[in-house]
Amino acid sequence: MKTALWLMGSLLLTGCLSKAKEEKPMTAFYDIEVERINGEKTTLSEYKGKTLLIVNTASKCGFTGQYDGLQKLYEKYRDRGLVVLGFPSNDFLKQEPGTNGEIEQFCRLNYGVTFPMFAKISVKGGEQHPLYRYLTSEESNPEFGGKISWNFNKFLISKDGRILNRFGSRTEPEDESLIKAVEEAL
C-alpha cells in the first residue's frame, strides 16, 4: 500500500500522471475540424463568407419535424449565402441511435434534406465536440454561450465567423425572429 501511494505521489510530482481529460485550448471558429456524414474530414473554413445556421439534430425527437423547416429555409436562402449545417447528436434521451448512414438516409427520405449533414457528435459533457465547446463557451461566446438544452438548438454565424444569435429547440425554422436574424445576416 505504501509503495503504491509513493509511486502515485512520484508520478504526480514528475507530471507523468495527469487528469483523465485535459482541457483543449479554444480554436478559432474556421479552424475547427468536422467530419461529414459520409466520413470525409474537413474544417469549417470551407464555409468562410457564408452565413451559417448550425443545428444539433436527432431523428427520434419531438422536434424532428424541424428538418422540414430547415430544408425550406436552406432552399429559400442558399442562393444568398445561407448554409444550414446539421450535427446529429445522441446526447438527449438517446434520440439519435442510428449510424451515420442510417441518419443520412432518414433525413434524405423523410425530409428531402440536401443541406450539409455531419457525423454524429456529442454536444455536451466530457466528449463534447470542439465545435460545440466553441459555441457554448462563455469565453468564445459571451453573449450566447451556455449549455445545450436539447436537440435542435440553433446558432446563427456571420459570414466572418462571429456568433450572431442562438435559438432554442422551440424556435421553429419558420419563426419570424429566426428569419429576421437570417435576413439581417445575409
Separation CA 169–CA 185 (nearest Å): 20
The predicted pLDDT at position 11 comes to 39
The predicted pLDDT at position 15 comes to 43
Separation CA 65–CA 28 (nearest Å): 32
Task: Count Cβ atoms within 10 A of the Cβ of residue 1 and give its class: 0-12 exposed, 13-18 middle, 19 or more buried.
Answer: exposed
* Number of CB atoms found within 10 A of residue 123's CB: 25
Q: So what's the architecture of 29-185 in CATH?
A: 3-Layer(aba) Sandwich (3.40)
pTM: 0.84
- The residue whose grid cell reads 422536434 is 63
Determine which one of 44, 61, 103, 119 is catalytic: 61
* For range 150-173, the mean pLDDT: 96
61 belongs to the catalytic site: yes
DSSP state of 115: S
Q: What is the pLDDT of residues 106-153, one digit of tens each?
A: 999 999 999 999 999 999 999 999 999 999 998 888 888 889 999 999
On the CB side of 107, CA atoms within 13 Å amount to 28
DSSP line for 123-173: -SSTT--HHHHHHH-TTT-TTT-S---STT-EEEE-TTS-EEEEE-TTS-T
* For range 56-78, the mean pLDDT: 96
Q: Which pLDDT band, with edges at 50, 70 and 90, does 27 fall under?
A: low
DSSP state of 78: G
